[in-house]
Amino acid sequence: MEDRPTSSRGIVGILLAAGQGSRFGSNKLCHPIADGTPVAVRSAVNLRDALGDVLAVVRPDDALLRGHFDGAGIPCVLCPDAGQGMAATLACGIRATSGAAGWIIALGDMPYIRQGTMAAVASAIANGALLAAPFVDGQRGHPVGFAAPLKDELLALQGDEGARRVIVAHKEQLHHIDCDDAGILADIDVPADLRP
């Protein structure tokens, strides 16, 4: 990991990749997109290329996905509490990178977000925003950026709602990044969600 690029601003991308993906019918995070890259690997590589510093959070029993991440040079942390919901997965990633100046939280099943969009979210956090998110036609998408002062609130989250409670609590401070990136809303839930 010595040759892994590190964000000069201390912003870390955390890819949440510990879900079961039961609606897809198989391990959706390992399913190839049109170019043959597994869904979660494309999501992680996009995040890494945008930010430099990335960490994927995976279930301990998902050896196949860990193998894909290893092959792509994406570092992973195992989340033994992943079954408790997305909040536990998020907290696992935050704890593993607790010295960061902020985090860009991305989802493993969203491979179509442009790198420029991710970089814009990171830039907003690096330039003083408490939290930031991209918007298309007024609709908030992913990834969402959180500055370090929100760490304790993120670690206190529970259940499967992700960081929604933190976003709502600070909605007046949410930095909106307007864009035309439809990928910020495009998650893969069923095979029909895959682009040709």
d(CA 32, CA 143): 21
Residues 79 and 18 sit within 8 Å (Cβ to Cβ) = yes
pTM: 0.90
d(CA 130, CA 134): 14
Flag residues of the chain having pLDDT under 50. Answer: 1-8, 25
**The predicted structure's pLDDT at residue 34:** 87
Structural domains of the chain sorted by starting position, each given as residue range(s) with its CATH number in brackets: 11-189 (3.90.550.10)
**The predicted structure's pLDDT at residue 2:** 31
**The predicted structure's pLDDT at residue 166:** 94
